[in-house]
Amino acid sequence: MATLLRLSLFYAIPIAFLSGLCFAADPAVSYDFKLSYITASPLGVPQQVIAVNGKFPGPTINVTTNYNVIVNVHNGLDEPFLMTWPGIQMRKNSWQDGVIGTNCPILAKWNWTYNFQVKDQIGSFFYSPSLNLQRASGGFGPFVVNNRDIIPVPFGQPDGDIILTIGDWYTRNHTALRSSLDDGKDLGMPDGVLINGKGPFRYNTSLVPDGISYETVNVAPGKTYRFRVHNVGTLTSLNFRIQSHNLLLVETEGTYTVQQNYTSLDIHVGQSFSFLVAMDQNASSDYYIVASARFVNESLWQRVTGVAVLHYSNSKGPATGPLPDPPNDVYDKTMSMNQAKSIRQNVTSSGARPNPQGSFHYGSINVTDSYFLKAVAPVTIDGKLRTSLNGISFHNLTTPVKLADQYNVKGIYKLDFPSKPLDRPPKIDVSLINATYKGFIEVVFQNNDTVMQSFHIDGYSFFVVGMDYGDWTENSRGSYNRWDAISRSTTQVYPGGWTAVLISLDSPGVWNIRTENLDRWYLGQETYMRIVNPEENGETEMAAPANVLYCGALANKQKPQEQSSSAITISRVKLRLLMTILWGVLAYFSILC
């Protein structure tokens, strides 16, 4: 007993120092994620897809805000792997972010345990692989963060939760797609759209081959369901709609929206939305759930359409006839942009804390730094097809930034990312943004590429204050929404247009800014913001976790991983002991809190 107490104190002290006294009172939930290849034929063609625990898509992480989430990722693939958690803010803890600038890859047959807290966030997210186009083969799954009971939700309790991952899909796997890009070729048109890892319902016998398994969503008449829809695809914006049903938009990436009905909504790569859908139809038949390619020539891209079935328990038969129409605006993309601008936050509803979402008056804060990031169509640099931002095509870091800092390894990166495009030829480089802690910054994404792009920033939610076609100018600031702009982590940037976001840099760390279009990302369209707290020499940041992996310039510090069964047995015993101790600590601190 005395030993246990001494041990508890031994663990309690560093834990308390790390995260404040009440950290230990927050519950922890553990997941084991085993990554492997399985054979699946979502579009009728057998192929290797990436499964998590044998499932494609992977299992749902379903937690409550403030939980500590522990995910032991076992890489059963034949190549390095990292899982990332877009939209989960990892406050002051970029060590867990799972991108190549913050983490060494988990080598084939190795495992690594992520451990992070989901703090002050509620909403719909997903996890996905971050390296080497792997997301194009799977490895993704939903990530739901629920409210604590004491925090109200701005709508009635729905009768059920329905999660849909939608995304374009190639019958070629990620290694084949990589070869195309390495050879300087475009990925071309996807072969279809999957909904929850399944191909389309056979709504048209000449367009959809026989024998494809499709997703069926079972519902009861009169009920209202919360649909959480995520575009986990490679590069295609999708228009989402449910035949004869309204989509009442309520949340996007952790922010409650002004509640409005849409007959269809554009969901861009990497984006997540929640809708309430009332089962208010007469069930004369099943209904189509459709995700179709957007901003492309529909007659050429017909096969890039996902179709699932909404089945009422009292349905009188299968869905028949044509799919509900997509928006008819091939020559006028104003409609889509107006729809995007109509998505605003409900400033009076409470977010993850009891205070209103609009209580942070972002519109009246002075901007400290502006970054104008220009994306252009892929170009050849040093004989290779590459993409860039401000003329810099990001060269992958060999050693994570924080580790290089901690061990004082020089020459890993430069802090010279230009705040606007320079008049010089594009180059491949490891340039990061030297961002200022506690700064309030404006980032303008200018899309000079020919395709719709999604841009994402790790570690933060940002206010999407403006978007338009044409070139951004200083006068564009006059059009910013300074009152109820949506706060999210992934925004679309229309081709030939711009999107402006505002961010409060209150979380030190190293945070990835990237396009979510996998081909553009793979070819170098990303950078990082390095944010340190100068007063405390980065001490407000969490320290490196005990299990941190080393690589690159620090590879000699990495011990080999033992994977023998005896090692696992021993570590299980150790784990049990550790858990006993931790529970003691939890009990101790729950009394204090």
Ligand X SMILES: *[C@@H]1O[C@H](CO)[C@@H](O)[C@H](O)[C@H]1NC(C)=O
Output the smallest distance, CB 245 to ligand X, in A: 7
Shortest distance (Å) from residue 95 CB to ligand X = 13
Question: x/- binding map, residues 109-128, to ligand X, per CB under 6 A?
Answer: --xxx---------------
- Which residues in the 482-541 window bind ligand X by CB under 6 A? 495-496, 521-522
Instruction: Kindly state the tokens that stand for 235.
Output: 């590069």
Q: Which residues of 161-180 are buried (b: 16+ CB within 10 A; e: fewer)?
A: bbbbbbbbbbebbbeebbeb
Q: Binding residue for ligand X (CB under 6 A) from 213, 284, 314, 334?
A: 284
Candidates 19, 36, 41, 62; binder of ligand X (CB under 6 A) is 62
- Nearer to ligand X among residue 121 and residue 130 (C-beta): 130
What minimum distance in Å lies between the beta carbon of 341 and ligand X?
16
Q: Is 299 in the site for ligand X (CB under 6 A)?
A: yes
| Using rule CB under 6 A, residue 422 touches ligand X | no
How far CA 459 is from CA of 87, 93, 102, 349, 443, in Å, comes to: 7, 9, 12, 23, 15
Closer of 437 and 589 to ligand X (Cβ): 437
**Both structure tokens of 293:** 């390619």
Q: Is the peptide bond before 57 cis (omega within 30 degrees of 0)?
A: yes
**Comparison of 24 and 145: residue with beta carbon closer to ligand X:** 145
Site for ligand X in 322-361 (CB under 6 A): 322, 330, 346, 348-349
Q: Report how many helices (DSSP H) and strands (DSSP E) the chain contains, helices first.
A: 6, 33
Residues contacting ligand X: total by CB under 6 A: 59
Which of the stretches 199-207, 336-344, 551-559, 577-585 binds ligand X when contact is defined by CB under 6 A? 199-207
Tell me which stretch binds ligand X (CB under 6 A): 23-31, 276-284, 399-407, 423-431: 276-284
389-419: b (≥16 Cβ within 10 Å) or e: bbbbbbeebbbbbbbbbeeebeebbeeebbe
The helix, strand and coil proportions of the chain, stated in percent and rounded to the nearest 5, come to 15, 35, 45
Strands (E), 232-304: 238-242, 247-252, 255-262, 265-267, 272-278, 287-293
Nearest to 370 by CA among 502, 468, 498: 502
Q: Is 203 left (phi over 0), alpha (psi -120 to 50) or beta?
A: alpha
**Residue where the block lists tokens 């194009």:** 136
Evaluate whether 267 touches 299 at the Cβ level (below 8 Å).
no
Residue of 3, 157, 206, 556 that binds ligand X (CB under 6 A): 206
Task: Specify the residue, 30 or 213, whose C-beta has the smaller distance to ligand X.
Answer: 30
Nearest to 127 by CA among 77, 91, 81, 191: 81
Q: Are 503 and 441 in contact (CB under 8 A)?
A: yes
Burial class (CB in 10 A: 0-12, 13-18, 19+), 189: middle
Give the nearest distance from C-beta 89 to ligand X in angstroms. 19
Stretch that binds ligand X, among 88-96, 210-218, 279-287, 424-432 (CB under 6 A): 279-287
Nearer to ligand X among residue 132 and residue 264 (C-beta): 132
> CB of residue 529 vs ligand X: minimum separation in angstroms?
11
Sign of the alpha-carbon dihedral angle for 271, 277, 281, 287: positive
Q: Which of residues 227-266 bind ligand X (CB under 6 A)?
A: 244, 246, 248, 258-261
Q: Give the interface segment with ligand X, choosing from 117-125, 294-302, 473-481, 535-543 (CB under 6 A).
A: 294-302
Binding test (CB under 6 A) with ligand X, winner from 19, 41, 53, 60: 60
Chain residues that interact with ligand X, rule: CB under 6 A: 37, 48, 60, 62, 72, 99-100, 111-113, 130-132, 144, 146, 154, 161, 173, 175-176, 204, 206-207, 244, 246, 248, 258-261, 278, 280-282, 284, 297, 299-300, 302, 322, 330, 346, 348-349, 366, 396, 415, 434, 436, 448, 450, 495-496, 521-522, 547, 568, 571, 575
